[in-house]
Amino acid sequence: MAKHKFSRFDPAKYLKSNEAIVEFLNATVEDNPGDAAALMRAVETVIRARNMSQVARDAGISREGLYKAFSEEGNPSFDTVQRVLSAIGLRISFESAA
């Protein structure tokens, strides 16, 4: 019997465009309402998709600081999240929940 080798699925490999990134982040928010940790994991995935070092430079944050802020133990400030999203080419918008 042949053995199959499976690798861990990494959505970062598929986030090639801003449109794909926006859909990914919106799906995360819709599937995990109120779960800030899930959203931060999704943002970290987007950062990896866009090259961690480049995003860090564009956001004015050290690469190590970016890794730490978006690690499982991290708790990035709203300012850090905004700077990272801006570096990626995204902005936060709001809509009525009603």
Question: What are 46-83's pLDDT values in tens digits?
Answer: 999 999 999 999 999 999 999 999 998 999 999 999 99
- Apex 14 CA angle, 86 and 50, nearest 5: 30
pLDDT score, position 31: 97
Residue 93 lies in a domain: no
Indicate the SS3 state at residue 67. helix
Q: Please report whether residue 7 resides in a domain.
A: no
Could you tell me if residue 1 is inside a domain?
no
Is the pLDDT at 2 greater than 80? The verdict is no
Q: Which domain holds residue 24?
A: 15-88
Task: Indicate the Cα dihedral angle 47, 53, 58, 60, nearest 10°.
Answer: 110
What's the domain count of the chain?
A: 1
Residue 5 lies in a domain: no
Q: 61-65, long-range: CB within 8 Å, 24+ apart, which pairs?
A: none
Is 58 a domain residue? yes
